[in-house]
Structure 1
Amino acid sequence: MTSPESTFLTVSGPREIREGVETLTEPAPGRVIVDITYTGICGTDVHGYTDGHMLPPAVFGHEWTGTVSAVGDGVSGIEVGQRVMGGVGPACGRCAQCVAGHARQCDTAFAEANGVDDEAPDHGAFAGRVHVAARRVIPVPDEVSDIEAALVEPAAVTFHAVRRVAAELGAIVVVQGAGPIGLLTAQHARNAGAGRIIVSEPSAARREVASSGLGFPDVVAPDDLEATLAEVSNGLGADVFYECAGVASLLQPSASFVRRGGTLALLGFPLTESTVSYGDWQVRELTVVGSLAYNHEDFLGAIRAIAGKRVDVTALHTGTVGLSELRDLLEELDSGKSRHSKVLVSPKA
């Protein structure tokens, strides 16, 4: 280490950021210290900042990559100087879900994903360094750049959702919302064999990224979705509809675009309650698939897709700022008027 002192930022109240300084020297047994290269700003970070109390401390700044600078006793497979990213560990094999044979729903990994496990760090990676459990770090392959590594976490979120849906080959898919989550979902759905993908997005700039940047031919404004879907599906509706906007009022309208017997997949996370027509969903025999976070295998799958150039995360990267600019950028992103798609924070910027 060059210096044992490290600056970190945490949420201290609604729209309030606290700066702290800690001294990190030797990691505890089973843990490592990682010097942060980049941390992505997630919609969850924005909500946590504006709300002031909803996020566990470790979640504010959970999309990160960096270089291991110290390794604690008992750690194997991780070395000083190694590039890593933050993730979740493999299924523990000991929790109630694992013992019951449901390793994909491992309670330990789920707690890690939500920053509430016993080994959760004291703060997230809007910081110079983090001190984390070794099972939480995943090596970065040489084929993956630092910028790509910083964007693996949202790619794992969307990989998880598409894997849970397990749509049939050739499916007609709608992705609602062309923010980072929507654009990554669309790419994973394409890799998973979707026959036709329609991306619906109100922002012209985001529609341009989806069409010109990522090569999706059917990119429409929301007002044009109904007519486009009717033409593509001969009036039936979508086989799979991925709701990635997280707007509570859109939940029932989203379901209306799904054909009878189709699937509504929920990725966007509304912060208010939603009203739906239970009878409509039942009569049309909709399958509703909720998706939150990921497991270890989703990270590995997302990394392979990025390394193999089957998923482009760099097209989403629209800027890099320093820690001192974080608060202003969170305000900008919350305004709904930002030009940015995915911004990275560098403690060295």
Structure 2
Amino acid sequence: MTQTRIASVTAPSTVLLRDEELASPGPGQVLVRIRYCGVCATDTHGYSAPQFIPKTVFGHEWSGTVVEVGKDVSTVEVGDRVVASVGPACGDCSMCRAGHAEQCDTAFAEANGVDPDAPEHGGFAQHLLVPERRVQRALDALSDEQLGVVEPTAVTFHAVRRARQELGAVVVVQGAGPIGLLTAQHARHAGAGVVIVVEPSESRRETARALGFTEVFEPGDEFRARVLETTDGRGADVLYECTGAAGLFQASAQLVRRGGALALLGYPMTDSQVSYGDWQSRELTVIGSLAYTHSDFVGAMRALAGGAVDAGPLITGIITLDELPQLLADLAEGSTQHAKVLVAPNG
């Protein structure tokens, strides 16, 4: 048995810190001592409305070290640094049998915390007991801080890969929070000719500039004029929507050229109203992107290790587990300027 401390949401805007004993790993399970767990918008949604996300999703951006393994575990050993992941395509679900391994039902359920073996809590804890499929050995070249942002880096790697962005493309990234800035870096690494970032927050625009982006604008006429000027009036080849603001979807689509792609990363919590006829008549390709596959974590770690993605400017704070409730309250109220905060449950 391992004594551990866990943070979980017990009611809207209520975080309970409790001590609990975790059993030793059973067959196919591993016990991970959490080093860092990132806080993201999904955690804030879970804090405000816990009924909408599974328990294991509250604190899903974790990394740590394997401290104990169960019988038949073969991919990691005690002492290995690992990141939260999903397993490879299972080969047995309906999607896999139909030849759609990239859409494996088993891995998709793991990514969304609804698989039968999902743990009872997420990585806002000192330790986490998970199936072997949920961990992936970290690249040795990565620092602990870099490992703390592998999960959102995989989310954005997945989205840019799905968009099939062409070399030299004119790209717009809407939103310069952590997801937007990671997406922008992947888009640049994928060979974009121009990356235009739009963001209302001056501090986030400054972070975009610190990451080497020169085409950075606040929303408004100057931004729209720049997109049209750059493209001779056509509109962007690809627009990555990273805010999840439902009211922006139609306006975003109108910035995309005829035959271009609108890639959706931000997750709206309300319904959206769009012009179906406009999207159809301009032959837009609309690409939904949610979560990731096992291989996306490999690509994400390589991008971080090789320098194509710089996570440093995104990490604006490291806090203890006891400080998490106040941070979530501040995020929910919009009273913090933090970008990406990492929780260090073990200090």
TM-score by length of 2: 0.98
Q: 1:304 is matched with which residue?
A: 302
Q: 2:120 is matched with which residue?
A: 122
Q: 1:260 is matched with which residue?
A: 258
Whole-Å Cα distance in 2 between the matches of residues 261 and 111 of structure 1?
A: 32
Please, which of 213, 227, 230 is the counterpart of residue 228 of structure 2? 230
Q: 1:178 is matched with which residue?
A: 176
Q: How many matched pairs?
A: 346
Q: Show structure 2 runs of 5+ residues with no match.
A: none
Q: Show structure 1 runs of 5+ residues with no match.
A: none
Q: 2:82 is matched with which residue?
A: 84
Q: Secondary structure at the match of 2:51?
A: coil
Tell me, yes or no, if the aligned pair for 1:210 and 1:219 is still in contact at 8 Å. yes
Q: 1:276 is matched with which residue?
A: 274
Whole-Å Cα distance in 2 between the matches of residues 9 and 331 of structure 1?
A: 14
Amino acid corresponding to residue 218 of structure 1 in structure 2: E
- 1:230 Cα offset (Å): 1.3
Q: 1:214 is matched with which residue?
A: 211
- 1:25 Cα offset (Å): 4.1
Query: Aligned runs of 1:1-349 on 2, under 5 Å?
Result: 4-211=2-209, 213-223=210-220, 224-349=222-347
Whole-Å Cα distance in 2 between the matches of residues 13 and 228 of structure 1?
A: 46
TM-score by length of 1: 0.98
The runs of 4+ residues in structure 1 deviating greater than 6 Å are none
- 1:17 Cα offset (Å): 1.1
Q: Deviations over 1:217-250 (max 9, x none)?
A: 1000011320110111111110101000010100
Whole-Å Cα distance in 1 between the matches of residues 305 and 95 of structure 2?
A: 31
Q: Deviations over 1:77-97 (max 9, x none)?
A: 311111111110100000000
- 1:313 Cα offset (Å): 1.2
Whole-Å Cα distance in 2 between the matches of residues 237 and 225 of structure 1?
A: 12
Amino acid corresponding to residue 206 of structure 1 in structure 2: R
Q: Deviations over 1:276-334 (max 9, x none)?
A: 00011011111100000000010000011111111111220000111111111011112
Q: Secondary structure at the match of 2:151?
A: helix
- 1:61 Cα offset (Å): 0.2
- 1:53 Cα offset (Å): 1.2
Percent of aligned pairs sharing the same letter? 58
Tell me, yes or no, if the aligned pair for 2:2 and 2:24 is still in contact at 8 Å. no
Q: Deviations over 1:187-210 (max 9, x none)?
A: 000111111000000000000110
Amino acid corresponding to residue 276 of structure 1 in structure 2: V
Tell me, yes or no, if the aligned pair for 2:46 and 2:53 is still in contact at 8 Å. yes
Tell me, yes or no, if the aligned pair for 1:16 and 1:52 is still in contact at 8 Å. no
Amino acid corresponding to residue 190 of structure 1 in structure 2: R
